[in-house]
Structure 1
Amino acid sequence: MTPEYPTVALSGWGRSSRRRSIVRRPTTDEELIEVVTAGSQLTVRGAGRSYGDAALSEQGIVLDLTARNRVLSFDQRNGVIVVEAGAVLADLMDQVLPLGWSLPVLPGTARITVGGALASDVHGKNHPGAGSFGQHVLWLALLDADGTTTELSAGHDPDGFWATLGGMGLTGVILRAAIQLQPLETGWAIQRRRRTRSLDETIEVLRELATQQEGDPNLHGVAWLDTHTPGPRLGRGVVDESHPALVADLPPAVQLQPDRRRFATGRAIRSLPGPGVVFGPTIAAASAARWHFAGASNQRLLPLMSALCPLDRVDAWPAAFGRRGLIQYQFAVPSEATAVLRRVLAFLVGSRMAPALTTLKNLGFGTAGPLSFPLHGWTLAADLPARWVQDDSRLHSIDAMVADAGGRVYLAKDSTVDPTVIPDMYPRLKTWQRTRDRLDPDRRFTSALAERLNLLS
């Protein structure tokens, strides 16, 4: 007799996309293979930190891999770690940082799984020098719908390897991966903060920073933009430039205590005032305060994780946007397309949708992954209350601007993009589909995102 499993309410991290699904959480290889080979359609889910519907299912079973989170081996001499896909990046950092190692790429949150980082091919604030997460993966093990495990790498089935990196969990189940870590002297960072007075100045500062980043994979940079100051000051901002601190950079009291040098994990969390506190006047007031107070300190020492993963310092960020949550619209455009950045900001402000949080970063050259997001240029992310976007088509004007400029949206964040522009945004989509169909000919692996954007057809 086949057991019946109840449906569970799931959402993306932004809370704007919701579904009810049967969830299976296998802990053993035998149980996992049993679920995968049972014949149902499957959606692979990690920590649930995708903003939209990438880890939600229109039908079938959601496969939760968070119980499979072991470190299988760690070569401390060479910095190679082999981990299961359900391991969370923050937990890995807690283990390897005291030993003098770090993950080479960390996105704005470290509370994602290794499998999610691979499936989204995440990037950090050091992309011009370090590239994306997948570029530091030595190999990965992929489980197909028949229950067969294959080891993929850049040298063994490179098409399958790169289709899986950035493939949004649609090529199979990532079981484990070997990752090359980078050495660090301390768990601290030196952060330099600069204010800019216009979008042009912000772009110029970031351009100069990108030149330095290309030669230094440990140099991280991001700009916060003020979208609530009208006229020529629209897009003024605060640029944070961070790099890991050496022992010589630390105050004497910290230098003399090796444990303090290594255990600066920066995991303290600040709670927001309450749910639904993000609306027009509060956003404008917070933006003005942030810009003015940024001039109080030019350089500071802070825990490395606080510098690299600022999202992890705020508790329940989506709840601040109200019951319907938030939509993050993130896109990338080529280096020369700075006019598009201005046009997007003007559109949002003119449509009475000035974002609650807007960030701008440099991106270096992309990868061989057909669906990998980064391209050489800029990436802008805007957090919007979902209640402002009553109709998904309200943002389709931005989709067109981005696509016309040769840019693309970030699939790991998306919940609204016009599906008709996806082939223009991802010109190697057909190449990816051919490889995907080879890896999963019966199209058993799917998601609400894949269905909405017709990624599998």
Structure 2
Amino acid sequence: MNPDEGLVALSGWGRTAHRKAVVRRPSSDNDLVGLVQATSRLTVRGAGKSYGDAALPEHGTVLDMTAHNRILSFDQGKGILVVEAGATLNAVLAQTLPLGWVLPVLPGTAHITVGGAIASDVHGKNHPGAGSFGQHVLWMSLLRSDGSIHRLSAGQDSDGFWGTIGGMGLTGVILQAAIQLQQVDTGWASRRRRRTGSLKETLGVLRELAAEQELDPELHVVAWLDAHQAGRGVVDECRPARYRDLPRAVPPFPEQRGGSVRRSIRSLPGPGVMVRPAIAAASSARWKLSPAKERQLLPLTTALCPLDRAGSWPAAFGRAGLVQYQFAVPVEASDVLGQVLRLLVERRTTPALTTVKNLGYGTAGPLSFPIPGWTMAVDLPARRLGDGTMLRSVGDLVAGAGGRVYLAKDVVTDPALIPAMYPRLETWRRTQRRLDPDGRLTSALAQRLELLS
């Protein structure tokens, strides 16, 4: 008998972590409750867009939530959406944006599920003013491992609510959520672009914009860096466009394109195209071909979710896949950004893509990622990282500066660093044990980082 019979091959979006597992996709609430009660070890999975092993099992069954994807109600007057956890952000936007409402926080892709956005407490490019996704959740219903369903909010079991926001799917199965949307005049964004000549100049621009962002939740800012050239970069600032900003012939809401995720493309053979000379040439070309512009009109989702134009991005990194290492450090630790880039370049692991954003104050979630300061994300060819020792040294540097890694993307962090990076870890563990006393909920990430011990 084939030991893999009945198993499904799964991976993270970066294609570095792989598992085979039994996957269940119940379509009804009764089947879902029955499965949770009957399963001893369960890993909750949404759209599978976490880069690493956050939605992969170490042992046990995978619960695929994508069949629970209905929009249950939408109050167009108040902008309050009630939606099932398996619906993607893209599907939500397809329904609400033509009505003048948008999710107030959007990460780099809209192809993640609502449940995944809550469990990872995703952030966007407007974090200093808008906060992270969880700050706009009014309430959620949580299926606990004993089969009971509880409504959680900031005023009703606040520990359970904030433990689930950013809790990486380890407190229970999110069934539904009510989310406060943001009203917009149009479905367009107005983008201003600047070029900078060094990392110092880039960070100076970001500092100036951070002060504006704190007062304006509609201001989205991100910087792309050329790691080969001392951190010179391109800084984009976007705002939802007002109706008066549109040329006369432009409709207020652009035509919605198909909401389905593009079919995954097979990884290119060997190292793919992400080799050092190609990365250097592409980085230089991108900088030269990104001239400063005072105003450019783009569809709002195109401006805020750039990853959705590059669905096959991991395939370019070859069979070993892509590691996106994202970390945050306090405002006063900006020198760590330059130290990390120099370390990677010196060890011939130049990032294929490097971005920096401003972060504001985080949520009350003990495992929520954002802290006031900076966040840098670097896309690295996994084949260059060997046993991960180099990135563990980056982790030491980040932790020593009072920073942390983003759990939703991690694949290499030393578990010994997690308590320092997340000082409220034990508070979260107490809440997690209360909500899942039998220890049924787990994941490869939770086991590797010893989150549940």
TM over 0.5: yes
Q: Which of 355, 359, 370 is the equivalent residue of 1:359? A: 355
Could you say what secondary structure the match of 1:186 adopts? coil
How many Å separate the matches in 2 of 1:446 and 1:85? 18
Give unmatched runs, 5+ long, in structure 1. Answer: 255-259
Question: 2:432 maps to what in 1?
Answer: 436
Deviation for aligned residue 1:58: 0.8
Please tell me whether residue 219 in structure 1 is matched to residue 215 in structure 2.
no
Question: 1:166 maps to what in 2?
Answer: 166
How many Å separate the matches in 2 of 1:442 and 1:270? 38
How many Å separate the matches in 2 of 1:182 and 1:348? 39
- Write the letter of the residue equivalent to 2:228: H
Within a 5 Å distance, the mapping from 1:40-439 to structure 2 comes to 40-229=40-229, 234-254=230-250, 260-265=251-256, 275=268, 276-295=272-291, 297-439=293-435
How many Å separate the matches in 2 of 1:246 and 1:13? 35
How many Å separate the matches in 1 of 2:396 and 2:304? 32
Pair 1:274–1:368, CA change in 2 (3 A) = closer
Pair 1:270–1:432, CA change in 2 (3 A) = closer
Q: Which moved more, 1:294-303 or 1:441-450?
A: 294-303
Pair 1:5–1:442, CA change in 2 (3 A) = farther
- Write the letter of the residue equivalent to 2:388: D
Pairwise CA RMSD: 1.7
**1:316-375 Cα distance to aligned partner (Å, 9 max, x none):** 110010011100000000001011111111110111011000000000001100000000
Please tell me whether residue 445 in structure 1 is matched to residue 436 in structure 2.
no
Deviation for aligned residue 1:297: 3.8
- Write the letter of the residue equivalent to 2:419: P
- Write the letter of the residue equivalent to 1:111: H
Deviation for aligned residue 1:278: 1.4
How many Å separate the matches in 2 of 1:78 and 1:54? 34
Give unmatched runs, 5+ long, in structure 2. Answer: none
Contact 1:399 1:417 in 2 (8 A): yes
Pair 1:146–1:272, CA change in 2 (3 A) = closer
Contact 1:84 1:176 in 2 (8 A): yes
- Write the letter of the residue equivalent to 1:217: P
Deviation for aligned residue 1:40: 1.8
**1:161-180 Cα distance to aligned partner (Å, 9 max, x none):** 00000000000000000000
Question: 1:10 maps to what in 2?
Answer: 10
Question: 2:21 maps to what in 1?
Answer: 21
Could you say what secondary structure the match of 2:14 adopts? coil
**1:83-102 Cα distance to aligned partner (Å, 9 max, x none):** 00000001110110000000
Could you say what secondary structure the match of 2:201 adopts? helix
Aligned length: 445
Pair 1:124–1:264, CA change in 2 (3 A) = farther
Contact 1:121 1:133 in 2 (8 A): yes
Deviation for aligned residue 1:106: 0.2
Deviation for aligned residue 1:196: 0.5
Contact 2:326 2:409 in 1 (8 A): yes
Pair 1:385–1:289, CA change in 2 (3 A) = same
- Write the letter of the residue equivalent to 2:112: I
Question: 1:257 maps to what in 2?
Answer: none
- Write the letter of the residue equivalent to 1:44: V
- Write the letter of the residue equivalent to 1:183: Q
Deviation for aligned residue 1:270: 13
Question: TM-score if structure 2 supplies the norm length?
Answer: 0.96
How many Å separate the matches in 2 of 1:36 and 1:315? 32
How many Å separate the matches in 2 of 1:197 and 1:432? 43
Could you say what secondary structure the match of 1:31 adopts? helix
Contact 1:271 1:314 in 2 (8 A): no
How many Å separate the matches in 1 of 2:8 and 2:266? 29
Contact 1:270 1:313 in 2 (8 A): no
Deviation for aligned residue 1:442: 1.1
Question: TM-score if structure 1 supplies the norm length?
Answer: 0.95
